[in-house]
Homo-oligomer: A and B are copies of this chain.
Amino acid sequence: MGATASESRPDKPDEKGLRMTATRFFSDNAATVHPAVMDALAAANHVDTAYDGDALSQSLDATFSELFETDCEVVWIPTGTAANSIILAHFVRPWQGILCYEEAHIEVDECGAPTFYSGGAKLMTLPGRGAKIDAEALKARIAGIRQDVHQVQPAAISITNATEYGLVWRADEIGEISQIARANGMKLHMDGARFANAVAYLDCAPADVTWRAGVDALSFGFTKNGAMMAEAIVFFGGSGGPGVRELKKRGGHLLSKGRFVAAQIRAMLTNDLWLDNARAANAGAATIAMACGERLMHPVEANELFVRLTAAETAKLRGAGFDFYDWGEGAARLVVSWDQDAQAVAPLAAAIAAL
């Protein structure tokens, strides 16, 4: 990843505290909260059970079980970092390892949170194209680990869908990875911070790219896609087993008014809001992609674009008010949010086309 750019850090506070929708492309973390979610928060103010004892929280298992067409155990959590870390800490013991892409969010953008939550597990990284680890490389890596107490033995594999470079894992690709996981007694985790964008792109059943393809647990992200602070830890095939709620409580993630997180998730899943929002963002990205042509460093499948731009070109775009991250030298990252559809991004697409 570029040394000077990141999804995760605006260097300085925005002095005016406000950016126009038409010009904000630095992160979907900065997107607005969807009105339906705001309404759900207001409605939840009349529920008064503490922690996760409320009916909203309790309803999540059934809601997700229906969505995924299988029994699910669901735990709401305020951040994706915590969701990823708790799942991984649940899957591995402190002396074990987690195989992942070398620029995976869990590896480069979470300050070591999965290692913290797991009590010391090691992230064991692999290269990959477009942030997808390669099945053959994965097999070779596993084969290269001596089965003794001196070397850390991996017990889980983590993939991100959509990937950190905006690509979408297909069901068969996931299946290849999950077969390797199964063959080696490992669990398969999917970081779905942009899972909605992946499903929207594939237009498939959520089950197809999760448990049917061998995924054991999903961090299902809603925050980037229209919620305020709400992610779902989803275990497929019934219960995830004991310990998950303890990890959540111990990490300080059991909110005393937890109903306000559950309410966000419920709102996002109502009337396919999660899909509509993702489709809008994907459409925005597709529009910009057409304007980028040969500049694209990766196929654009979800809502992120990695674009070759000279320093002069980035300066010109910034001069026009557009806000985005440099991605190393000669490149930039553009992220389209749920509140920026094809129409909203037209000015940026035009500006790029005019470069």
Query: Residues on A close to B: CB < 8 A?
Result: 1, 3-4, 6, 8-15, 17-19, 24, 26-27, 29-33, 38, 41-42, 45-51, 53-58, 77-83, 85, 93-95, 97, 108-113, 115-117, 119-123, 143-146, 148-152, 223-224, 228-229, 243, 245-257, 260-261
Closest residue of B by beta carbon distance from A2: B144
Interface of A is mostly: loop
**A48 partner residues in chain B, CB cutoff 8 A:** 14, 18-19, 24, 30-32
The contact sample of 25 A-B pairs, CB cut-off 8 A, is A3-B145, A9-B50, A9-B146, A10-B50, A13-B55, A18-B46, A26-B50, A27-B50, A29-B257, A30-B49, A30-B50, A32-B45, A78-B253, A79-B254, A93-B246, A95-B249, A97-B112, A108-B151, A111-B250, A115-B120, A116-B250, A122-B123, A223-B257, A228-B260, A229-B261
CB of A49, distance to nearest CB on chain B (Å)? 4
CB of A27, distance to nearest CB on chain B (Å)? 5
Closest residue of B by beta carbon distance from A229: B255
Cα distance, A60 to B290, chains bound together (Å): 43
Cα distance, A311 to B41, chains bound together (Å): 38
Contacting pair B3 A146 (CB below 8 A) = yes
**A51 partner residues in chain B, CB cutoff 8 A:** 8-10, 29
CB of A241, distance to nearest CB on chain B (Å)? 11
Cα distance, A164 to B27, chains bound together (Å): 42
CB of A127, distance to nearest CB on chain B (Å)? 13
8 Å CB contact of A50 from B17, B29, B55: B29
**Given known A-B contacts A9-B146, A246-B111, A251 and B251 have beta carbons under 8 A apart:** yes
8 Å CB contact of A82 from B33, B97, B252: B252
**A256 partner residues in chain B, CB cutoff 8 A:** 27, 29, 79-80, 223-224, 229
Cα distance, A209 to B249, chains bound together (Å): 29
**Given known A-B contacts A41-B38, A50-B27, A122-B115, A249 and B13 have beta carbons under 8 A apart:** no
Contacting pair B253 A54 (CB below 8 A) = no
Closest residue of B by beta carbon distance from A38: B42
Cα distance, A152 to B150, chains bound together (Å): 25
A-B pairs, top 9 by smallest CB distance, nearest first, are A82-B252, A119-B119, A29-B256, A29-B50, A10-B53, A81-B252, A3-B144, A17-B55, A95-B246
Contacting pair B47 A8 (CB below 8 A) = no
Contacting pair A249 B12 (CB below 8 A) = no
Contacting pair B18 A249 (CB below 8 A) = no
Contacting pair A93 B243 (CB below 8 A) = yes
CB of A86, distance to nearest CB on chain B (Å)? 8
Contacting pair A149 B32 (CB below 8 A) = no
**Given known A-B contacts A148-B8, A150-B249, A14 and B229 have beta carbons under 8 A apart:** no
Contacting pair B229 A257 (CB below 8 A) = yes
Closest residue of B by beta carbon distance from A3: B144
Cα distance, A176 to B316, chains bound together (Å): 41
**A149 partner residues in chain B, CB cutoff 8 A:** 111, 245-246, 248-249, 254
Contacting pair A33 B18 (CB below 8 A) = no
**A10 partner residues in chain B, CB cutoff 8 A:** 49-51, 53
Cα distance, A167 to B298, chains bound together (Å): 42
**A251 partner residues in chain B, CB cutoff 8 A:** 82, 113, 116, 251-252
